[in-house]
């Protein structure tokens, strides 16, 4: 057994057992309430800069397989769980969680009262923290956590985006693809600010040729692909720190139909003059109820965000609210009244999470189709 | 969508008596539904034949009918109540089937009643296997290969095509009746025959065996707006092949990746849309091939179920309550989540703990029963336990079972075939030798393959014998993830054993051991200590459990519902208040002898004490119950009912006292040890309990009161037993002391049987002596429930049993008021019972049993606790005895409660018992001192005959008004049978008899057709039964012995669903029933009307 300490900047600390890699890492601690899907969470680039605590106690049960990854590598800074499974039981598993984290030099800590941690975060909000297997003096670690950089105001997108443009052609394997493969009709440029692969897989499935570009691509570079639409992806960190992308989006409003997810939603919001703010402890899980205000239907959604677009900050005459979170009534989606632009704060591509919001990809396709007809 | 306003009154159908496959969970769902609908402003009427339910309490629904669940009575209730709608999805399979039958009979159309919750078409589509299969194929879901058969020949053909092994499933049955795995044509023929017979539509499905696959269940809800949520996923530890009710199951699913889980969720959603369950809760079962991941759908239930009750308790999400609200048109987003208050019900619960459900069996009650588990459910109850990890929850679950186990073995109760490991030394010896003992280890490994009640322990023994996870997985199909968890427990046990005598190591291991769910009792065993030493040591180390909240959201939001489980971690959330509070111990898992009646009493105590301003703390481990609804008590602890677990809560909460006498024998058994640990016991003193239970002290007590007792003695050896039996004379009743439900109680007629009995009685009694009583032949048994405040005592009711003394009181039909015993004797019983109460200083409830032989009163036993009959008596006399008792226990007097005089009801009520024989083919159905019934029904009417007739209808043992009665009785009954047969003849029934009885009847001038016995050639009796050429069987047993012709007749009667009466007294009662309904049609009347109370406006 390898001792490990998790210390938060506000003085709370936990002693547990280390797994995965050894060392010392910093990040903001958040919790995720999903009962399954740790592999997708680990590989979601939006978690860059964060350490994730899983609320479900048994983690690692089904191991890790390459097919279910959401990007080329895990991005979390640290992984906090109650208990690591001693074995792996799944026909698709290729390695254990422990082996995987070691491979990518990521620290895990297990054996702590994760519920106590979650209740604490729920009360005080997300906190900067450190996990260490080297320094075991909690007092020193608390000081280190305090001094760490945190994620507010930091541009983490640059650290996770692709470096060069590429065409994405991967699709879901038949047995797990819900819905049929649509004939490809439109080309979309997907701005990679930390995009999850399932978004790209879903775009493919819903009839798009997918051209991926880094978040640093300029409006001109994007338009040079002559796309039928623009897709704005999820991504890590503080949306206020990604001003260059907001500027790009602003330039393209009115020029291209747009669909944004998560950070993409926040980019569109800001480009239209809205403001973002940080939630106390964010939404991270697979069970968030969202209502489509038009159909009054409820979607159980996959979410992972710390920041939201403030409803009041958006120009009322230009923007119509389309989705809200039924738990805390925060904004979950809006559309532009004049231009073919819409976006959601949550993850219709799920992975992990329910497939209830899949219709949004078709909606994007239909929107482009309609806008081209009208043009 | 707002709720419907075109509906004003709704009729809810209950589930009837507790039977295997249908237990208290439907009282829980029914009671929730009544409350939910009333909350929304609807008038609610209710029909249920089971008096021991909270849902039939007169102040719950507006009109409550304790009437048989048959189309006939349902229609009568509808005529009287004129409901706008009927909600059939709360009463289990019974409720659903009744609704289908009523619909098909045109009842709903005739009276303009709408089915809500699930439409007729939807039920048909879900329940009829052919329609279901078609529907699933339509939406592209994979199913096991299968086909239907409507005859034996067809069945054989289909099985041939699919290839053995195959599974046979009967359409429209309960708990998998008439289902089973068949490995060859012989097995197929037997199973298919029963299956065809059980199916309401004579249809069976024969399907590809997917035995050994992983089994999953999703509990889902859908509203009128097509909003869909999964409340809980469940993964079975036992792979496919064992009925899910008999499996150890775990929530949430453990070994599915998110992709695999979401695929299952999508499938469940499609199923709901296709079947058309517009509103409410359902469950959908899946199987997954562990090698390829191929997922097939097994079945869906278009109603709330046992697993939805489990899911509700496992997550804190009240499925039945919300299902009722959805049925009247509300949508999920319009219903607030009770627990978080500020978030809506339209979400999927997330949990941050692990839940384990373990079934409870009662095979020891049924001689010659096949105890292998299969697709037909055999368990009688279940426990649920919660822990932060599977290991913790699993060991807690095992000690919740009330099977005297304290965890996953290592508790002094391990038994490997005939080898018992009572001591640490024996255990160590076994550990040392078993890996080398080739014969034993192979025997263990072979035994572990077949699912049985104790298979889980053999998985451990297989590990101890040196088998690897891989080997055990291949043999048993139990998923390696579960096996690895078990292995972790076993490995830690090894470390614990090695720490004996090493104090420092023990201290070092203590916390981890507790986190793995080990009990103090197990640690004491490993370390050669007493439980109390371990407790002291543990507390000295500061290792105490903390209590965590069940909050539906994994701590994401603040929760307002105090629903807790224990674990060994840092933060305690129990937050004990400083209010005056009372702790109530529940009854644990349902089993024969202890069931819903005690939960009813506990719930009543909670209600009464809450009303008085006490904070109520409920402790129980049974997920089916109303007592474990977080809505019931102020604080709920979902914990095992052992000394350790109860003391932990007590010390944390510091209530002013604990109520033990309402939860049956389970809490009462803890009385002495709780007292010794300084716990304040409310109500009747522990000493008084001992005076009633200790044989010697009991003898003295009766002597003091001036009550006769059958001659008796106590024996600790075979020799002593012989001596006593000789002195008092055969026949004798023999039993171990301190038992429940007549466990191992037998009437012994001679020395040989005595010897045989003594051989297996020791195990049932844990080295306690056996009690030997003179058996009173031809005596009438009486039962009295009494309530007392220590000074004043009032008899709730005196009940007369229909079956004679010698048949367990829990299995007899019982009647209020007495119908054949003289007023003088009844009065004597009343007075003597009161004197016992006074002498013992009873505060609360007490039950006394008497036998009347030749006008002499004998006292059989005194139980200073609430009895099984409390709800029956309460509903008959219109006084909630358990509520009053709880108030007395905190100092109220009967005078203050205005209950000082006996109530003589103007009506007659009959309680009839209901038996599980149909689940145990081949078992003889005769009644004995060993209790075998799982549930009860009540018939209530103006006179005895009508009430009895109704009770038989309710017990699904319909007395035919016309047709054929088969009569065959033992020699000693022959002189008395003619008068009974004559009455049947007069009532227009045809009589058929075997030679001996026919001769007696003919001599007495009663016409009777003769039929051959089975041994006499063909066609014989068995053909008559199989062709259903008889409508009633009267057959009294000639004595307990090997399976005789008569035993076969009786079990065949059960298989072919022909009512079978096994005592003359019951036959006489049947005659009176028939006479009563001959000219006068039966009427229905609500409980509120019987007692002159109006439902609350």
Verify whether the Cβ–Cβ distance B481 to A36 is below 8 Å: no
Give me the long-range contacts of B613-616 (CB less than 8 A, separation at least 24). B613/B580, B614/B579, B614/B580, B614/B581, B614/B582, B614/B890, B615/B577, B615/B579, B615/B580, B615/B581, B615/B582, B615/B655, B616/B581, B616/B582, B616/B584
Chain B residues touching residue A356 (CB < 8 angstroms): 228
CA distance B448 to chain A (A): 21
Sheet strands (E) in B908-1051: 908-914, 935-941, 964-968, 990-993, 1009-1010, 1032-1035
* pLDDT given at position B740: 61
Q: Rounded to whole angstroms, how far apart are CA atoms B798 and B818?
A: 7
Q: Which of B252, B254, B555 sits opposite A119 (nearest CB)?
A: B555
Estimate the share of chain A in helix, then strand, then coil, as percent rounded to the nearest 5: 25, 30, 40
Record: contact B253-A82, CB cut-off 8 A: no
Do the chains contact at A352 and B258, CB–CB below 8 Å?
A: yes
Asked if A347 is an active-site residue, the reply is: yes
Q: How far is A325 from chain B (nearest CA, A)?
A: 10
pLDDT of residue A342: 98
Q: Assess contact for A367 and A260: CB atoms under 8 A.
A: no
Checking if the pLDDT of B1095 tops 50, the result is no
Alpha helices of B626-735 — where are they, by DSSP H? 643-653, 665-668, 671-676, 686-693, 695-705, 718-728
Instruction: Give the pLDDT score at B1094.
Output: 57
Alpha-carbon separation of residue B903 from A271, B786, B794, B816, B882 (angstroms)? 80, 12, 9, 11, 16
Q: What is the pLDDT of residue B13?
A: 98
The answer, yes or no, to whether residue B741 has pLDDT greater than 70, is no
Mean pLDDT, residues B157-182: 81
pLDDT at B194: 86
Q: Which of A97-101, B159-163, B971-975 has the highest mean pLDDT?
A: A97-101
| pLDDT band (50, 70, 90) for residue B1044 | low
pLDDT value, residue B105: 98
Give all strands of the β-sheet with B1009-1010 in edge-to-edge order: B1009-1010, B990-993, B964-968, B1032-1035, B1060-1061
* Across A23-52, average pLDDT: 97
Compute the mean pLDDT over every residue in chain A, rounded to the nearest whole number.
Answer: 96
- Selecting from A55, A86, A92 the residue whose C-beta is nearest the C-beta of B554 gives A55
Q: Do A56 and B554 touch (CB under 8 A)?
A: yes
**Residue A340 pLDDT greater than 50, yes or no:** yes
pLDDT score of A198: 97
Supply the pLDDT for residue B198.
Answer: 75
Quick: pLDDT tens for B864-900.
Answer: 999 999 999 999 999 999 999 999 999 999 999 999 9
Buried b (16+ CB within 10 A) or exposed e, B1063-1080: bbbbbbbbbbbbbbbeee
Q: Which of B253, B262, B344 sits opposite A350 (nearest CB)?
A: B262
Average pLDDT over every residue of A112-126 = 96
Interface test with A, best of B216, B259, B336 (most A CBs within 10 A): B259
User: Can you give the pLDDT at residue B471?
Assistant: 98
pLDDT confidence tier of residue B340, bands split at 50, 70 and 90 = confident
Residues in chain A with CB shorter than 8 Å from the CB of B353 are 57
Position B1096 scores a pLDDT of 40
State the CB neighbour count (10 A cutoff) for residue B1044.
15
Measure in Å the smallest separation between the Cα of A19 and chain B Cα atoms: 18
pLDDT of B702 higher than 80: yes
Q: B interface mutation test: which of A96, A115, A355 has the most B CBs within 10 A?
A: A115
Task: Please report the pLDDT score of residue B120 as a whole number.
Answer: 94
B614 falls in which pLDDT band (50, 70, 90)?
very high
List of chain A residues whose C-beta atoms are within 8 Å of the C-beta of residue B388: 57, 82, 115
Q: Do A113 and B553 touch (CB under 8 A)?
A: no
Do B554 and A33 make contact, defined as CB atoms within 8 angstroms? yes
Given an 8 Å threshold on Cβ–Cβ distance, is B346 in contact with A289? Answer: yes
Percent of chain A whose predicted confidence (pLDDT) is above 70: 100
- Across the interface, which of B258, B333, B480 has its CB nearest the CB of A87? B480
Find which of B255, B336, B344, B546 to mutate to test the A interface (most A CBs within 10 Å of its CB): B255
- Whether B1040 has a pLDDT exceeding 60, the answer reads no
Residue B1097: the pLDDT is 34
Catalytic member of A262, A265, A299, A336: A262
pLDDT above 90 coverage of chain B, percent: 80
Cα of B338 to nearest chain A Cα, Å: 13
Mark whether A83 is an active-site residue. no
Burial group, residue B497, by CB count within 10 angstroms (0-12, 13-18, 19+): middle
B411, B515 Cβ separation under 8 angstroms: no
Indicate whether A273 pLDDT > 50: yes
What pLDDT digit, counting tens, does each position of B579-613 carry?
A: 999 999 999 999 998 999 999 999 999 999 999 99
Categorize the per-residue pLDDT at B172 as very low, low, confident or very high, splitting at 50, 70 and 90: low
| Cβ <8 Å between A286 and B259 | no
| Interface with chain A: mutation pick from B556, B564, B565, B567, highest number of A CBs within 10 Å | B556
Beta carbons of A291 and B256 less than 8 Å apart = no
Q: Which of B168-177, B905-914, B968-977 is predicted with the least confidence, judged by mean pLDDT?
A: B168-177
Question: Mind listing the pLDDT tens digit for each residue in B79-106?
Answer: 999 999 999 999 999 999 999 999 999 9
Structure confidence by residue, pLDDT tens digits, B194-208: 888 877 678 898 989
Specify the pLDDT at position B228: 95
Which of B265, B481, B571 has its CB closest to that of A354? B265
Q: What average pLDDT does this structure show over B387-403? A: 97
Decide: A45 and A24 in contact? Cβ < 8 Å.
no
Q: Would you say residue B212 has pLDDT above 50?
A: yes
pLDDT band at B1037 (very low <50, low <70, confident <90, very high): confident
| pLDDT tens sequence across B764-788 | 444 678 889 999 988 999 999 999 9
Give pLDDT, residue B767. 63
Mean pLDDT along residues B276-301? 91
The ipTM assigned to this model is: 0.97
Looking at beta carbons, which residues of chain B come within 8 Å of A35? 233, 252-253, 261, 350-351
CA distances from B381 to A328, B20, B360, B915, B935 (A): 41, 8, 5, 14, 12
Q: Mean pLDDT throughout B332-348?
A: 88
Residues B29-61 have pLDDT tens digits of: 999 999 999 999 999 999 999 999 999 999 999
């Amino acid at each position: 057994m390898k001792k490990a300490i998790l210390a938060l900047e506000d003085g709370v600390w936990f002693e547990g057992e280390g797994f995965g890699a050894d060392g010392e890492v910093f990040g903001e601690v958040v919790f995720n309430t999903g009962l399954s899907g740790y592999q997708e969470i680990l590989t979601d680039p939006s978690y860059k800069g964060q350490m994730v605590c899983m609320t479900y106690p048994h983690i690692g049960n089904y191991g890790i397989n390459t097919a279910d990854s959401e990007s080329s590598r895990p991005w979390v800074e640290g992984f906090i769980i109650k208990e690591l499974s001693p074995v792996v039981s799944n026909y698709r598993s290729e390695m254990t969680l422990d082996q995987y984290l070691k491979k990518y030099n990521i620290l895990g800590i297990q054996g702590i009262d994760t519920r106590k941690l979650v209740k604490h975060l729920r009360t005080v909000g997300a906190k900067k923290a450190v996990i260490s297997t080297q320094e075991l003096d909690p007092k020193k670690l608390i000081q280190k956590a305090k001094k760490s950089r945190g994620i507010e105001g930091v541009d983490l997108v640059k650290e996770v985006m692709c470096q060069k443009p590429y065409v994405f052609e991967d699709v879901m394997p038949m047995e797990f693809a819900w819905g049929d493969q649509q004939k490809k009709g439109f080309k979309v440029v997907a701005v990679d600010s930390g995009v999850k692969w399932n978004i790209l897989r879903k775009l493919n499935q819903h009839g798009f040729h997918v051209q991926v570009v880094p978040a640093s691509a300029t409006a001109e570079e994007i338009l040079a692909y002559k796309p039928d639409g623009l897709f704005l992806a999820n991504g890590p960190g503080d949306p206020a720190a990604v001003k260059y992308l907001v500027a790009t989006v602003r330039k393209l409003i009115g020029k291209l139909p747009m669909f944004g997810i998560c950070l993409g939603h926040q980019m569109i919001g800001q480009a239209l003059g809205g403001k973002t703010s940080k939630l106390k402890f964010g939404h991270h899980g697979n069970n968030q109820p969202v209502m489509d205000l038009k159909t009054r239907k409820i979607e159980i959604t996959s979410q992972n965000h710390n920041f939201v677009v403030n409803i009041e900050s958006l120009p009322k005459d230009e923007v119509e609210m389309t989705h809200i979170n039924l738990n805390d009534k925060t904004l979950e989606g809006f559309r532009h009244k004049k231009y073919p632009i819409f976006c959601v704060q949550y993850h219709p591509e799920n992975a992990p999470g329910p497939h209830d919001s899949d219709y949004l990809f078709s909606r994007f396709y239909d929107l482009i189709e309609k806008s081209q007809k009208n043009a | 969508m707002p709720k419907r306003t075109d509906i004003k009154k709704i009729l809810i159908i209950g589930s009837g008596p507790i039977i295997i496959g249908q237990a208290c969970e439907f009282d829980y769902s029914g009671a929730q539904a009544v409350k939910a609908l009333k909350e929304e402003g609807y008038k609610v009427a209710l029909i249920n034949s089971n008096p021991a339910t909270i849902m039939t309490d007169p102040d719950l629904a507006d009109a409550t009918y304790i009437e048989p669940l048959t189309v006939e009575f349902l229609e009568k209730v509808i005529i009287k109540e004129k409901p706008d709608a009927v909600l059939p999805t709360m009463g289990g399979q019974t409720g659903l089937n009744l609704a289908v039958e009523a619909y098909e009979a045109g009842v709903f159309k005739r009276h303009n009643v709408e089915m809500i919750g699930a439409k007729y078409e939807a039920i048909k589509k879900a329940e009829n296997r052919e329609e279901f299969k078609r529907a699933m194929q339509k939406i592209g879901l994979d199913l096991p290969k299968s086909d239907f058969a409507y005859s034996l020949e067809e069945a054989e053909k289909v099985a041939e095509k699919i290839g053995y092994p195959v599974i046979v499933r009967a359409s429209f049955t309960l708990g998998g009746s008439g289902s089973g795995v068949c490995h060859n044509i012989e097995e197929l023929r037997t199973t298919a025959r029963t299956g065809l017979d059980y199916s309401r539509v004579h249809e069976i499905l024969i399907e590809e065996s997917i035995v050994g696959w992983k089994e999953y269940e999703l509990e889902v809800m859908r509203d009128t707006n097509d909003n869909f949520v999964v409340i809980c996923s469940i993964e079975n530890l036992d792979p496919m092949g064992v009925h899910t009710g008999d499996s150890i199951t775990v929530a949430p699913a453990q070994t599915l990746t998110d992709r695999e889980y979401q695929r299952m969720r999508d499938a469940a959603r499609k199923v709901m849309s296709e079947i058309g369950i517009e509103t409410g809760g359902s469950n959908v079962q899946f199987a997954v091939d562990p090698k390829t991941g191929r997922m097939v759908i097994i079945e869906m239930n278009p109603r709330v179920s046992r697993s939805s009750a489990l899911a509700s308790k496992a997550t804190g999400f009240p499925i039945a309550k919300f299902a009722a609200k959805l049925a009247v048109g509300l949508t999920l987003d319009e219903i607030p989540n009770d627990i978080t208050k500020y978030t809506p019900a339209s979400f999927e619960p997330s949990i941050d703990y692990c839940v384990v459900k373990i079934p409870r069996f009662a095979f020891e009650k049924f001689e010659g029963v096949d105890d292998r588990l299969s697709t037909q459910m055999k368990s009688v109850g279940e426990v649920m336990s919660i822990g932060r990890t599977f290991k913790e929850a699993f060991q807690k679950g095992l000690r919740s079972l009330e099977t005297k186990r304290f965890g996953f073995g290592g508790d002094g109760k391990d038994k490997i075939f005939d080898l018992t490991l009572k001591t640490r030394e024996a255990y160590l010896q076994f550990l040392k030798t078993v890996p080398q003992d080739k014969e034993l280890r192979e025997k263990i490994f072979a035994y572990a393959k077949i699912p049985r009640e104790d298979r889980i322990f053999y998985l451990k023994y297989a590990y101890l014998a040196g088998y690897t996870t891989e080997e055990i997985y291949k043999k048993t199909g139990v998923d390696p993830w579960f096996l690895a968890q078990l292995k972790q427990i076993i490995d830690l046990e090894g470390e614990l054993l090695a720490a004996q005598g090493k104090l420092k190591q023990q201290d070092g291991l203590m916390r981890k051991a507790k986190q793995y769910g080990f009990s103090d009792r197990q640690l004491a065993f490993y370390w050669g200590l007493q439980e109390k030493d371990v407790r002291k040591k543990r507390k000295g180390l500061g290792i105490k459990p903390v209590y965590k909240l069940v909050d539906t959201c994994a701590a994401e939001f603040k929760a307002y519902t105090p629903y807790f489980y224990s674990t060994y971690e840092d933060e305690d959330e129990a937050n004990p208040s400083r209010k005056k509070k009372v702790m109530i111990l529940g009854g644990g898992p349902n089993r024969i002898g202890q069931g819903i009646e005690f939960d009813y009493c506990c719930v009543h105590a909670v209600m009464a004490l809450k009303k008085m301003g006490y904070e109520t703390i409920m402790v129980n481990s049974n997920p089916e119950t109303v007592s474990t609804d977080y809505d019931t008590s102020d604080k709920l602890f979902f914990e095992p009912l052992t000394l350790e677990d109860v003391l932990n809560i007590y010390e944390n909460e510091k209530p002013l006292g604990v109520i033990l006498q309402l939860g049956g024998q389970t809490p009462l058994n803890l009385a002495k040890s709780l007292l010794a640990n300084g716990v304040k016991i409310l109500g009747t003193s522990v000493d008084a309990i001992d005076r009633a239970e200790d044989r010697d002290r009991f003898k003295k007590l009766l002597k003091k009161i001036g009550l006769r007792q059958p001659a008796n003695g106590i024996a600790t050896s075979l020799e002593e037993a012989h001596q006593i039996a000789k002195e008092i004379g055969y026949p004798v009743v023999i039993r171990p002391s301190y038992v429940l439900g007549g466990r191992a109680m037998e009437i012994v007629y001679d020395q040989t049987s005595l010897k045989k009995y003594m051989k297996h009685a020791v195990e049932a009694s844990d080295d306690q002596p056996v009690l030997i009583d003179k058996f009173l032949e031809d005596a009438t048994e009486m039962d009295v429930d009494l309530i007392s405040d220590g000074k004043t005592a009032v008899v709730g009711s005196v009940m007369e049993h229909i079956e004679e003394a010698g048949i367990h009181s829990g299995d007899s039909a019982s009647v209020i008021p007495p119908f054949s015993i003289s007023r003088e004797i009844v009065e004597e019983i009343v007075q003597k019972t009161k004197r016992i109460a006074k002498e013992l200083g009873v505060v609360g409830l007490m039950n006394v049993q008497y036998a009347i032989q030749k006008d002499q009163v004998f006292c059989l036993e005194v139980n200073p606790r609430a009895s099984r009959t409390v709800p029956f008596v309460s509903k008959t006399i219109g006084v909630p005895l358990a509520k009053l008792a709880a108030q007395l226990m905190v100092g109220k007097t009967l005078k203050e409660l205005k209950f000082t005089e006996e109530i003589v009801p103007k009506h007659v009520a009959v309680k009839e018992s209901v038996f599980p024989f149909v689940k145990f083919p081949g078992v003889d159905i005769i009644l004995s001192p060993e209790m075998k019934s799982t549930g009860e029904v009540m018939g209530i009417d103006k006179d005895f005959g009508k009430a009895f007739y109704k009770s038989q209808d309710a017990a699904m043992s319909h007395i035919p008004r016309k047709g054929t009665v088969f009569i065959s009785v033992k020699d000693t009954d022959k002189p008395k049978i003619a008068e009974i047969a004559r009455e049947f003849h007069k009532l227009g029934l045809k009589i058929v008899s075997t030679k001996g009885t026919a001769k007696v009847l003919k001599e007495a001038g009663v016409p009777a057709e003769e039929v051959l016995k089975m041994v006499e050639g063909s066609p014989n009796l068995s053909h008559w039964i199989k062709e259903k050429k008889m409508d009633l069987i009267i057959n009294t047993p000639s004595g307990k012995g090997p399976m005789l012709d008569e035993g076969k007749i009786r079990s065949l009667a059960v298989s072919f669903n022909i009512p079978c009466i096994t005592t003359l007294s019951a036959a006489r009662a049947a005659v009176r029933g028939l006479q009563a309904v001959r000219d006068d049609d039966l009427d229905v009347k609500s409980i509120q009307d019987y007692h002159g109370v109006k439902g609350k406006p």
